[in-house]
Structure 1
């Protein structure tokens, strides 16, 4: 039985991991901010010494892009120094580490999907702090999996799917960005991929998104179709949209490494969204 520490277990991906892992195969150490502050080096090191995890999955992060712009020190403390602290524990224990990252490490100016070999050029504090976290992980331990994803949604998160449904419940007209492109990715599919990856020694940086590309407007259309909600939907530029912060306009990631080593296929984004919406209705 391996021991897996999920830091940030109350977030979307932390919850998804707990929903699908087999407790007969994995002993889980769940921590969130109330239990342990990953920015406190001593606290993190002590936890690592006492519990000796085989794998650390860092699901922590300040992901609110507007908050990151307002409070850059807070963003770097959590997104960069937190990742550094967990990496130090991983190195001390000889553990594997999974660092979750984002498409925001790119500038969004490309006309084709970004591969793992494209140069990063973040334009936001969020993207820059996440890239700094990636760099710390690479610096401190070679047994790492850096996973970049985008447009992630799952249980309990303040994500695009849940926000669209909240506004739809109120019967309001929705103005959604028609000029932001990405690949909606289910936290559960991401969690399945993470659990697969930690069973391997295929270390490195990966782009992991559901397959297919859409804009925010098309994403919202599909959410409303599956929910049976009938509200007026308008495609507008990002600056006029209700639910989108200003983000890289072209956030499409190419799962290039997964494809060339023929390791793992991610499902189509529409299938994954349908699965999520069914589960949401049942619960």
Structure 2
């Protein structure tokens, strides 16, 4: 029975993975920052020595863009050095590392989806710190999978909940109309990750739902699917900040040419999530 260590297990993707993984097929070790701090090299080293995982799925990370901008030291500690600690120890015992990364490693102004062979160009501290984590893995490991996704939502705080909280609070919600990417459900992303547990695929892969939209259209779709179109005014605005990429749509090229499953359409996945989640059903 393979032993799988999921870091950041209390986050969107970590929770989705623990729900989908069959404990009869895998020995699952799920930790968060309290019981598995990846930024502490001795904690990581001890965990590897005591548990000898076959596969590590790193869902841990500082993902709040504004928090990263305000505290870049913390962003690089978690998103870069934390990943380095995992990569070093995974390599030492020949474990497979699956790293969850982001569309924010791209940042140039273009309107063509990015594939895995396009050069990265992060704008934000968040994107730069995640890119640094990717580089540590490439420098230190021979067996790894880096999976980039975008606008991931699931149980907990995210854009979907922000919109629905705004419905409860009333008023007007201002949403950027000049940011484009693909909403991706944590469940769909977790399904893709599961595919890498039993195959020998390695390298960098993009895994996002099909299609793309602006944040403004994303908000409107959430309201439409929950019959709240008339309960909240959503006003578009142009985001002039230079931290978020204007266009960070990802192309699942590697999944496609490798004959692997791709996530479903973003609208279908969003409708499924809202129907399955008690608060929204």
Aligned to 1:75: 75
Say whether 1:273 aligns with 2:270.
yes
CA contact (8 A) 2:124 2:243 kept: no
Aligned to 2:238: 237
Aligned to 1:216: 215
Shift of the alpha carbon at 1:246?
A: 4.6
Alignment of structure 1 residues 180-219 onto 2, 5 Å: 180-219=179-218
- CA RMSD, aligned part only? 1.4
Shift of the alpha carbon at 1:67?
A: 1.2
Aligned to 1:171: 170
Shift of the alpha carbon at 1:239?
A: 4.5
SS of residue paired to 1:281:
coil
Alignment of structure 1 residues 13-92 onto 2, 5 Å: 13-92=13-92
SS of residue paired to 2:9:
coil
CA contact (8 A) 2:182 2:210 kept: yes
CA contact (8 A) 1:101 1:149 kept: yes
Shift of the alpha carbon at 1:281?
A: 2.7
- Higher mean displacement: 47-56 or 106-115: 106-115
The gaps in structure 2 that reach 5 residues or longer are none
Structure 1 runs of 4+ aligned residues shifted over 2 Å read none
CA distance in 2, matches of 1:239, 1:136: 32
Aligned to 1:119: 119
The gaps in structure 1 that reach 5 residues or longer are none
Alignment of structure 1 residues 135-174 onto 2, 5 Å: 135-156=135-156, 158-174=157-173
CA distance in 1, matches of 2:205, 2:171: 39
Aligned to 1:256: 253
Residues 243-266 of structure 1: CA distance to partner in whole angstroms, max 9, x if unpaired? Answer: xx9510101001011111221121
- Higher mean displacement: 112-121 or 221-230: 221-230
- TM-score when normalising by structure 1: 0.95
CA contact (8 A) 2:173 2:233 kept: yes
Shift of the alpha carbon at 1:227?
A: 1.2
Q: Give the paired residue count.
A: 278
Shift of the alpha carbon at 1:275?
A: 0.9
CA contact (8 A) 2:114 2:249 kept: yes
- Higher mean displacement: 104-113 or 47-56: 104-113
